[in-house]
Each structure stands twice: as C-alpha cells, then as structure tokens.
Structure 1
Amino acid sequence: MSQCTAKKAWLAKALTIINADFNRSSDTHLIKVELPCFVGVALYLKDESTHPTGSLKHRLARSLFLYGLCNGLINQDTAIIESSSGSTAISEAYFARLLGLRFIAVVPLSTAAEKIKQIEFYGGECHRVEPKDIYAKALLLADDLNGHYMDQFTYAERATDWRGNNNIAESIFAQMEREPHPIPTWIVVSAGTGGTSATIGRYLRYNPELHLNTQLAVVDPDNSVFFDYFKHRDATATSTKGSRIEGIGRPRVEPSFLPDVVDHMIHVPDAASIATMRWLEGILGRKCGGSTGTNVYGALMLIADMLKNKQQGSVVSMICDSGERYLNSYYNDEWVAQQQLDLAPYTTQLNNFMRTGKLQN
C-alpha cells in the first residue's frame, strides 16, 4: 500500500469513528424553567452538559476535528494542540483518544483543577501558562512537534455548518415546535470563541421567517472585550485581565466572533453570573457552571422587559456545562471572597424576581 493510499485509508477510518460516535449520541434535552412570575412568557434551557464530555464544547470539538481531517491538516501522526480554558480541551482530548492521536492543551494557570483532571483522564497533556501566553505557547508547540494547532478562536465560526446538519440552532427550533410560543422571541448565548453565536445568527438569517421573529442576544462577563467591540467595532481592543467565568469572555477580539449577526449584547457582572448559577441550583435541583449563570441572568433581564411590556413569547438559552467542575471555585465561598465578589445583592434581586417578575437592583 502506497503512503498516499495509507493516508486515505486512515482518514476514512477516522471519519467513520467520529461519525459513529455522533450516531451513538442523542440530542440534548430542552428544559422548560417554571417560575411563579412567568405569565405569558417561558424560559427554556438547552442542556449541553449531557454531551459525552459534559459541555457545549463537545459540538465544537467534533466540528474542529472534522474540519482538520477533511482539510488535510490532521493525519495518523499529527499531534493536536489547543489553547483553551478547559472545556474545549476536554472535548478535544476525547476525540483525539478516539483517533489514537497525541493531544496537548495549553491552559491558563487559573483553570479549574477538575478540568485538568478530565483532560488527563482522556489521555491529554496540560501545559499551564499565564493567560497572555496561551496563544504563543500553543503555536510554539505545534511548530516544535510538527503538529496541528486547532485554534478554536479562529476556526469555530467556519467549522460548523450554520445552514443546518443538526447544528445547535436547527436542534433548538425542532425541539420548540410543539411549545406555546415555538418561535423564540430571544435566543441568549455567551461567547468564548464566538462560534455558537455565529452559527445561530447565520442560521436565523438563512431562514428569513425565523430572522424576522427571533433576535439573538450575546451576554459577556467582566474582563472581556466582546461587549465593547460590539459597540465600537475596535478590533484592537484588549483587556489586561482574563475572564473569571471560564469558557466565555476573551481579553482580545477573536476572529470567530461575528458582531454583525448579533442583535443585542448585555454585559453581566461576574457576581451576577455566580449568584445566578447558585440560585439556579434551587430551581433545577442541580449544579451548573458559571457561563450558564451568565446566560440565565441575561435571559432574565430580557424576560423582565417582556413582562414589563406585557409581551408574550419564549426565550431560549443554554446550560453550557456542569457545576461539578467548579466546586473549588464558584461554589466555594472562600474563593468568592478572595475574588472580592458580593453575591448577596444579586441573590436578593433574583429571589424578588421569582415573585414579581421585576429584575431591579
């Protein structure tokens, strides 16, 4: 067998393995959140934590591997390198193990220990560096090992088929078909790479009847530049601090974040994200991660406006990952105190919202 034929045979096998894994996976559940104040409105959370690797990033990792394989960037000897705050690296380590490939994650020093353990569980290696160094270190490793830098922050928006093919947007609308308000008034997501907002925003535009009736809102945490970039379009904007809400928010404008497909952006303080995440545990009976808190706080802000204006409709957001990954940070009172975050005002605000439908400070 020639070298060329062997490479093609390996590629065919690799694609079969990934597609078989996809075929074994069911769609993620869409949870309806019930609150006393919801009159004429409904909140739904798409539970992405139920993917095999426990987060929304499972979709992205699969797409990035397929993109790399079909573009000839990954073969049977390729070391895979990624810069990640954890969840994408966990999912990519899973797929790398399926294909028998070496995987190295370059992660910030602050990455939750639970995430490091998961990356290593799937056979991945971790290089912990200062947040400002993750891109340069990943590129250096890829060059030294003659490997492939997955670069989720560049390729997320192009690796996913935004026209359909069971992407997250198509799945949401299919699951909403039998609900009282099947076409959401808002879809609310957070941005790490920007890939999810790009996929949903493009899908809405590709289906004009949806685009006319559904708006896309992106929520952004502290120490992230996406919100300012959306307002001012300054692509050189940077932040000297990394995001405390792992998986979302970036200190620089990433190529995969497409502001022109976003209708509205909301800045959510980190204290609000963490308070909402903890508050949500009492509603759902389970722990969710910090980015879920960011999503839900933004969704509740929009619902409060809908209730104020006596507007009926539905709002869809998502559970990005499980809170079990953050027991030593977001669910740890000592960690919260060290971060000088005061959750009490937001907890009071959320409890009042349950009764009144008003989200006031």
Structure 2
Amino acid sequence: MAVRQSAGAGGVADEVPGPAVRRTADVDRSDPGYREWLKEAVRKVQADANRSADTHLLRFPLPEAWGIDLYLKDESTHPTGSLKHRLARSLFLYGLCNGWIRPGAPVIEASSGSTAVSEAYFAGLIGVPFIAVMPRTTSAQKTRLIEFHGGQCHLVDDPRTVYEVSARLARETGGHYMDQFTYAERATDWRGNNNIAESIYQQLRLERYPEPAWIVATAGTGGTSATIARYVHYMQYDTLVCVPDPENSCFFDGWVAGDPEVSCESGSRIEGIGRPRMEPSFVPGAIDRMMKVPDAATVASVRALERRMGIRAGGSTGTGLWSSFKIIAEMLAAGRTGSVVTLICDPGDRYLDKYYSDAWLAEQGMDITPYAKAVEGFLDTGAWPC
C-alpha cells in the first residue's frame, strides 16, 4: 500500500527550478536499451487510445418547443473515469518524446486528484513510479484510486504549495515533474487528432444544430478550454466558448482585469477546477466569455442532473451545467435557437462525502435551496431568475 505523506507551507525549498530545469544527464539517449524502452513505452500509451472508444454525447431533456438542444460530453466513461484521461495520455506522450520520462525515475504531479488518478494509471502502464502532490482536502475516493493504480499520495495543507513541493520532490528524486498546469495547452494537439473538440463536432454532425452556438468548458489547468477555443478558430466555426469559474479561483478575476498575476488565498471547494493562480495553460485571449458561479449553484445543478437524467456527476460538471442553463435562458429570451455543449468531467461517486452529502453542505455553511429552486424554475419555464 502506498504511504501518504504530508507537507505544510514550511519546509519547501526557497529556490525551486522552473519547468525548463530537468535532470536528464543520467540517461544516455543513444543507448539501445533506453531506445527500446522508449519505443515500448510510447507504443503502450498510444495503444491505450486504440482500446478506448469515443465518449458519449448525451442529450439533456429540454422542451422541444424551445428550439434549443443541450448536450453533455460524458468524459466520465474514460478508463480512469474522467476528462483528465485525455490530458494524462497527452502529457505522458509529450514527456516521453521529449526525453523527460525515464526508466525507473518517478513521475511527480501537482493535482487536485483526477489528473493524478489518470497519470497513476499511465505510469503503471509503462512501469515507472508515480507521486501525486495534492491538497489534504482532496476526496478520499481519489486518493484510493491513485493508490489502486500504484501511485503514492503526498498531501499538503496549503493548496498553494503543490507546485513548489512537486518541483522539490522531482529534484530530490531525479524524477520528472509533469507540471500539467504549464504543459496542458501545449501537449494536446488542438488542430485535431481526435481531440475533444473534434470529437464534439463529429458527434453533432447529424443533429439539427450541428454547429453549437456555445461550448461551455470549466477550467482546472485551462488546457481543455484552450484546445476547444483554438480548434473553433482553426476550423472557422462561429461557436462561442464560455469558461465558468467557481468561488476561490482566479481565472475569472485575471480574465476581467487582464492580469495573469492575480492570486487568491483559499483553495476551490469544487475539485478539479478553480485555481489559486491563473495557470500558464489558460489562454484568456482564445475564449469569448467567463462566468463566476457560486459553489451552491454548482451543487444545486449537479443534483438537478441526477434528478432529471439519473446521472451522478462531479462538482465541475455542475459549474458548467449552471452556466449552460443561464446561456440557454438568454437564447430563449432573445428568440434564438441552436445547440449548447458542456462536459461531464468525472463521476459523482468520487464525491459522495461532499456534493451529495447534506452534512458536508451544513459544515460548509452552504445553502443550495435558492439555487435549486432557480434551476427547477428554469427547466420548467425557460426563465432565468433576475
């Protein structure tokens, strides 16, 4: 069983190497044994994509008379259960082909959980150790999944220290700090190659509104929204991209102010999205709109999804769903028709002790009642509360 470790704000090295500083001198890149290992590792990661079918595009039940269709791209059906499976595969291929991931050397990642679950899976696939540096508040189910796939969990008290602790562990072990928050937007091929954006448009091609009016994508690293927005512009679509942001996150504030240096003191309660800083992979100039979504609205929306479709999803899905409902209400008020797409990012069984627990809501002082009424009122009438 992997051992959970902990670190507070203290004890972090004063000087931490940046992403470009990597220990690579301990491997002879021309060694036939290393080249064979590398080819086999790349083959195994690529083979995973061939074994996985595309994820489903589900239709949320809205009145036909509205002339608006809402779709949910169900990324929870990936082998590791979340949208982050795509990202982890891309990051591993990127790290392997750059010579950063090496036999026997650990891969280390700063994560709020789901990326670490997926990266632990790929690390086990190619036979290298994996260490996830995560906030102590990460759900217990995620830590169990990381350990199930052979990874270790290094828990920190202050979410803002995950970056420094990850870099320090990589330096001390001679491993590779994957750094999803820097490399998410560059490791993914946004021009196509069956990325999530291309998949959405392919699946919509026989629907009554094949080119969506809006795609709504929440931001953890910012890589998914960057991939979708870049693909939209590259393919010359008219689709607009909205990025909702939860409480205790800096993406919205940085986007509004045009300031990439904004930061906040508290960590997000909506696991998988929301960051205490604007991450390098977030590309604010590529997107069209942002919304600030109260955490109570997120929970109300994800519970409404369970009532209306029998689907229990993670909190980040609720953030995107609330924003999608608001956009649809605006379209109705303006007399517009079309389609809207958002994401089911991961399954709700990872959060039974949080977003589906009334005790947790009470502990957080979170009253979802007015937001639940707003959602049900919208779904019944199409009107958005003022």
Q: What TM-score do you get using the length of structure 1 for normalisation?
A: 0.97
Aligned counterpart, 1:241:
266
Aligned counterpart, 1:333:
358
Distance across 2 between alignment mates of 1:37 and 1:244: 35
Matched, 1:358 2:386: no
Distance across 1 between alignment mates of 2:168 and 2:326: 43
Distance across 1 between alignment mates of 2:30 and 2:182: 31
Distance across 1 between alignment mates of 2:288 and 2:327: 13
3-state SS of paired residue (1:190): coil
Distance across 1 between alignment mates of 2:55 and 2:208: 20
Q: Which moved more, 1:300-309 or 1:71-80?
A: 71-80
Matched, 1:180 2:208: yes
1:211-222 to 2 correspondences below 5 Å: 213-222=238-247
Structure 1 pair 323–38 and aligned structure 2 pair: CA distance change class (3 A) = farther
Distance across 1 between alignment mates of 2:30 and 2:102: 12
Matched, 1:205 2:233: yes
Aligned counterpart, 2:80:
53
Identity %: 56
Distance across 2 between alignment mates of 1:248 and 1:355: 29
Aligned counterpart, 2:34:
7
1:71-110 to 2 correspondences below 5 Å: 71-110=98-137
Match of 2:141 among 114, 117, 122: 114
Aligned counterpart, 2:185:
157
Aligned counterpart, 1:189:
217
**Residue identity in the other structure for 1:115:** K
Question: How far apart are 1:3 and its partner, in Å?
Answer: 6.5
1:215-230 to 2 correspondences below 5 Å: 215-230=240-255
Distance across 2 between alignment mates of 1:360 and 1:336: 23
Structure 1 pair 348–314 and aligned structure 2 pair: CA distance change class (3 A) = same
Q: What TM-score do you get using the length of structure 2 for normalisation?
A: 0.91
Do 2:185 and 2:224's aligned partners in 1 also have CA atoms closer than 8 Å? Answer: yes
Aligned counterpart, 2:57:
30
Question: How far apart are 1:235 and its partner, in Å?
Answer: 1.6
Match of 1:321 among 341, 346, 365: 346
Question: How far apart are 1:36 and its partner, in Å?
Answer: 3.1
List alignment gaps of at least 5 residues for structure 1.
none
Aligned counterpart, 2:335:
310
Matched, 1:168 2:193: no
Distance across 2 between alignment mates of 1:2 and 1:246: 39
Question: How far apart are 1:38 and its partner, in Å?
Answer: 5.8
Q: Where has structure 1 moved over 2 Å in runs of 4 or more?
A: 35-38
RMSD (Å), alpha carbons: 1.2
**Residue identity in the other structure for 1:109:** R
Aligned residues: 358
Aligned counterpart, 2:152:
125
